[in-house]
Structure 1
Amino acid sequence: MSGPSPAAETPRIHTLPNGVRLVCDPAPGVHTVALVVAAGRGARCEGTRESGWSHLLEHMVFKGAAGRNARELAEAIEAGGGQMNAETGFERTVFHVRTLPEGLDGASALLSDILLRPTLDPGDLERERRVVLQEIAEAEDTPDDLVFEMAQAAAFQDQSLGRNILGDAASLARAGAPALADWRARLYAPDRLVIVASGAVDEDALLRLAERDFAAAAASATPASPAPARFTGGIRTDDKSLEQANLVFLCPGLAATDPDAWSAQVFVECLGGGMASRLFQEAREDRGLAYAVDAWGEFWSDCGIVGVFAGCEAESAPDLARLVVEQMVDLAGSPRGAELSRARAQLKAGQFMAAESLLARAEQAASQVLTHGRLVPAPEIAERIDACDASAVQRAGARLLGSGLAAAAVLGPSAAHPAAEAFRSRLQSLAGTA
């Protein structure tokens, strides 16, 4: 194993009687605490009628809880030197506070209030609905946001994974206060809540706070559960007057718990994970086809995606699409030793650097508990990455490309639109050689 040795044993997971899980992660030499409460349900649990409700609920719980209004909630956190925020994703909703150690007591109580006892005032709801509609409009006016939404919709047609996390006007209009209260009970049910505190924190003290603030959370009779996802593939194009074409190409990926998940991440890193990656060197440096080009992967509970984003001149888009496929297929067939070593080093560095940020560290621990049911020590992560040799990456690449399925989105001048079909048809013709 080539990586740092842990400074202490892996923190323990404690489970309250109602199913809430708790992790205390002390970090020596720091003077603040990151407190995270992650609910292991998100936008994937929504049907068409509830699209956007999880994100709207995340907004609403900050408007008032347990007798305090939005201003009083903010003042309570900031008076203790804290900062608070939240984020809704497809599979989880994460609330977090950064604070001084003496602010942890109040931060725990406040997060408990907003998750378990939000006011959900109808007047606030109407105003916040308008705020979210403005957020949707802003995303639609941002090309490099919109093109990702288009590609996601093409990849998972008529499924929650293919819908905008923000929802739409019709679905948001259906979210009355009583309906949103029921949705809260299902989304933030205790069996899927994970609390993590990283930094200057004492385990016994944290346990007392968790028992005080979260032990009374009631289980929902009908918890929301996501439907299995199916990568359908497809094409989306939109003619907009832009200086550059924005392109997103997607292939089916792997689940976070798949044995080949780390090898798939090495594949992605080799493909487009930095300035030394294949796509940056081939598409930008050698051929000048794109100014921006990179690859990424998403790894959910039962599926994933591998994607490439690029910004380029419209006339170059079809050539760029074909180049992307050719590099993917060549990488799946014959990864090079030097690029594998670079990719493994980059992935390990990213993991270890994240562990040096208290907030990232707490969020990573919560994600591991929700995904794997346990904490994954840094040495084990490094060993898994180091095990991704050429044969493992070839195997992952064959799985990623083997179906021949693809999704593509092109936003910009019409001259770029053929790139979508160029990517799909080229992948279908070459997939069998991967």
Structure 2
Amino acid sequence: MSAPSPKPDGSRATPRVHTLANGVRVVCDPLSGWQTVALSVVAGRGARFEDEGRSGWSHLLEHMVFKGAGGRSARDIVEVIEAGGGHINAATGYERTSFQVRALKDGLDLGSAIVADLVQRPAMDAADLAREKQVVGQEIAEAADTPDDLVFELAQEAAFGGQPLGRPILGTTTSIGAATPQTLGAWRQALYAAPSLVVSAAGAVDEDELLRLAERDFGGADGAALPPPVDAAFVGGVRTVAKRLEQANVVLLLPAVGVHDPDYFTLRLLAEILGGGMASRLFQEAREKRGLAYAIDAYSETYAETGVLGVFAGCAAEDAVELAEVTVGEIANLAEPVPAAELARAKAQLKGSMFMGRESALARAEQAAGQVLLFGEALDPEQVAAEVDAVTPQRLASLTARILDQKKAAVAVLGPKAALKAAETFQRAVAG
């Protein structure tokens, strides 16, 4: 592939990707006139790489590295970043773990050094680990006490039961309790191994400086990356929990496609038309016309080889069954070609969200790192927009039929007992 051509302001539509000798990849996205820089160091490994005994270890590890690294204490790490006007954060997902620094334009040197210490030289003190297990245990308890967190965990378990994608990213108190400084340190070496790392920077960044810092801070990273996980299978099922709440929380999932599927953008548009905004079919039918829910949204969640089409709603218990019926009906209607104007609106919304997201340096750095992990390169936004524009009403209808033909659903309902029958209603309607 030829090098991306520069724009008149010196920036490039597609950032360049470099590979260090140890396999660490480096992405530079300079933006002319910016006064800040965002650094994202992403490991292409996360919670779905865990076995059941290590469930939650990736998230626990992300917590632990901030307790001390590279000779700095937990307080030193945040104070030195904030003293320079910066912010530091991290996140663990099913397929990746990311460390992010936002800083003023001269803060890249320090940010890179700090993150390199977190990823490669954490202290892993036993007393800190004991305390952090308590903290994560509180986080697990908080999620269980938060209905709109718990209902998504229940739906994920129903969709991918008995598999890593069906387990909560936080793990359980039992599984995280089994971790020791030594076993968690070995997990770090595998999770953050050099071949799975991408160092990505956007904003006020010079390419030569970034490459120098990446070589200095990550050129010595080693370790063999964990092998790809076994392909996940959408199994479907029902999870219901009766609880005294004012509203029922409902999540409805159907098996869909993964990131590498040619219909990836078709799925994104399908979710947009179904329930992506106030003009969407579900919002208009379920909320505006029938008054069944205050909040109702459709979304797509994609992994490397699989994905889901999902709907979330909060509704009165007595309306849950009708809401499930309306949702199935609106999905089934999408097996017929949608009007051109409706598809054009969905395309405009999707492209708008993609391009607006690129107005954040951190979002650009994260997006580029994710693309390199998935596709081996950073994608040209204009080419991505062209792929969105290429989706036809026939492709939308075909994907809908492909989803429904599997006759599988995963449903979670959390709330008053009267709402729980909505789960069986939805699953039975999908199964035909």
The question of a shared fold, defined as TM-score above 0.5 by the shorter chain, is answered with: yes
1:397-432 CA-to-partner distances (Å, cap 9, x unmatched) read 122222011000000011001100100111111xxx
Deviation at 1:334?
3.0
Report the RMSD for the aligned CA atoms in angstroms. Answer: 1.1
The residue that corresponds to 2:381 in the other structure is 378
The residue that corresponds to 1:300 in the other structure is 303
Identity across the alignment (%): 56
Residue of structure 1 aligned with 2:64, choices 53, 56, 60: 60
Deviation at 1:21?
0.3
The residue that corresponds to 1:282 in the other structure is 285
Residue of structure 1 aligned with 2:229, choices 226, 232, 236: 226
The residue that corresponds to 1:153 in the other structure is 157
Alignment of structure 1 residues 4-403 onto 2, 5 Å: 8-220=12-224, 223=226, 225-403=228-406
**Letter in structure 2 aligned against 1:86:** A
> What SS class does the counterpart of residue 107 from structure 2 fall into?
helix
Structure 1 gaps, min length 5: 430-434
Go from structure 1 to structure 2 and tell me whether the alpha carbon gap of 1:239 and 1:283 turns closer, same or farther (over 3 Å shift): same
Runs of 4+ aligned residues of structure 1 deviating over 3 Å after TM superposition are: none
Deviation at 1:9?
4.4
Instruction: Supply the distance in 2 between the matched residues of 1:224 and 1:131 (Cα, whole angstroms).
Output: 30
> What SS class does the counterpart of residue 377 from structure 2 fall into?
coil
1:224-262 CA-to-partner distances (Å, cap 9, x unmatched) read 542210100000000000010000000011110100110
**Letter in structure 2 aligned against 1:348:** K
Instruction: Supply the distance in 1 between the matched residues of 2:125 and 2:118 (Cα, whole angstroms).
Output: 13
Deviation at 1:394?
1.2
Could you tell me the TM-score, scaled by structure 2's length? 0.97
> What SS class does the counterpart of residue 380 from structure 1 fall into?
helix
**Letter in structure 2 aligned against 1:178:** Q
1:168-214 CA-to-partner distances (Å, cap 9, x unmatched) read 01101111110000000000011110111100010000100000000
> What SS class does the counterpart of residue 431 from structure 2 fall into?
helix
Instruction: Supply the distance in 1 between the matched residues of 2:359 and 2:348 (Cα, whole angstroms).
Output: 17
**Letter in structure 1 aligned against 2:254:** C
Instruction: Supply the distance in 1 between the matched residues of 2:257 and 2:88 (Cα, whole angstroms).
Output: 33
Instruction: Supply the distance in 1 between the matched residues of 2:46 and 2:335 (Cα, whole angstroms).
Output: 33
Deviation at 1:67?
1.2
**Letter in structure 1 aligned against 2:80:** A
Deviation at 1:336?
2.1
Instruction: Supply the distance in 1 between the matched residues of 2:317 and 2:158 (Cα, whole angstroms).
Output: 21
Instruction: Supply the distance in 1 between the matched residues of 2:184 and 2:104 (Cα, whole angstroms).
Output: 33
Could you tell me the TM-score, scaled by structure 1's length? 0.96
**Letter in structure 2 aligned against 1:318:** V
**Letter in structure 1 aligned against 2:42:** A
The residue that corresponds to 1:405 in the other structure is 408
**Letter in structure 2 aligned against 1:242:** L
> What SS class does the counterpart of residue 338 from structure 2 fall into?
coil
Structure 2 gaps, min length 5: 1-5
Deviation at 1:16?
0.3
**Letter in structure 2 aligned against 1:75:** E
Instruction: Supply the distance in 2 between the matched residues of 1:219 and 1:171 (Cα, whole angstroms).
Output: 24
Give yes or no for contact 2:337–2:396 (8 Å, CA) kept in 1: no
Instruction: Supply the distance in 2 between the matched residues of 1:27 and 1:214 (Cα, whole angstroms).
Output: 23
> What SS class does the counterpart of residue 305 from structure 1 fall into?
strand
Instruction: Supply the distance in 2 between the matched residues of 1:254 and 1:375 (Cα, whole angstroms).
Output: 21
Aligned residues: 424
